[in-house]
Amino acid sequence: MMGCSSCSMKPRALVWRLSAGLLAMSATVLIAIPGANAATADRPPVTTVRSAAPPVQSCNDAYDQTGVRGAGIGQIRAVGNGVYSFDIKFNQDFIAVHPPTTIFAAGEARLYVNGRYAFTIPTGHPRPIGDSFHSTIQLQGHKYGRGNKKSIQRGDSLSFRISLLLMDPASGTLYPGRGTISCRL
């Protein structure tokens, strides 16, 4: 799920406004982080038993199975009345392999419904790497598509495609990453 690229920058020049542009790089520049047991979003989760496909998760409690040691970076959970909690957070093993000055600079989750783009959840400003980003979203009934003619319904197949950018201002190192939560509503 997670990858990194080293880019030379002056630490003071790491203005967070550039994060949006840098995030776009994450889709093309990915190098595995040593010791992080990372996997990219388009690979199946690593398991000890070979299986044809991972089981379909319910969106009531689903997580990104492509993450560090299977823990993932994203999670979706039902909180009642068609409302869901979405969050992105990093586990302690993952945080431990990064410099303590690393921050969660920027990210976004693009939601696809039955393969069609619906909307994007941006993560806003930079946060400490130990913090979680969260969003409360009304999924069932949410309008999407051209002219907002479609609405998300029970039984729909959802895919949250997460792109993010970690940054170590002290060394000027960028760590782009990706993950995906796939689930059925």
Contact window for another protein (CB under 8 A) among 1-9, 35-43, 119-127, 177-185: 119-127
Instruction: Output the smallest distance, CB 108 to another protein, in A.
Output: 8
Alpha-carbon span 118 to 139, nearest angstrom? 10
Closest CA to 158 of 109, 113, 119, 108: 113
**Closer residue to another protein, CB minimum distance, 46 or 79:** 79
User: According to the binding rule CB under 8 A, does residue 137 interact with another protein?
Assistant: yes
**Closer residue to another protein, CB minimum distance, 70 or 122:** 122
Which residues between 8 and 27 bind another protein (CB under 8 A)?
Answer: 15-17, 19-20
Q: Are 86 and 134 in contact (CB under 8 A)?
A: yes
Contact window for another protein (CB under 8 A) among 3-11, 33-41, 45-53, 129-137: 129-137
Instruction: Output the smallest distance, CB 81 to another protein, in A.
Output: 8
Which residues between 47 and 106 bind another protein (CB under 8 A)?
Answer: 75, 77-80, 83, 85, 87, 89, 92, 103
Closest CA to 38 of 97, 83, 81: 97
User: According to the binding rule CB under 8 A, does residue 148 interact with another protein?
Assistant: no
Q: What angle do CA 125, 172, 177 make, to 5 degrees?
A: 60
In this structure, the number of other CB atoms found within 10 A of the CB of residue 32 comes to: 13
| Residue 65, both tokens | 């199975």
| Residue 31, both tokens | 């190098």
Beta bridge partners of 150: 144
Q: Which residues bind another protein (CB under 8 A)?
A: 15-17, 19-20, 75, 77-80, 83, 85, 87, 89, 92, 103, 108, 120-128, 130-137
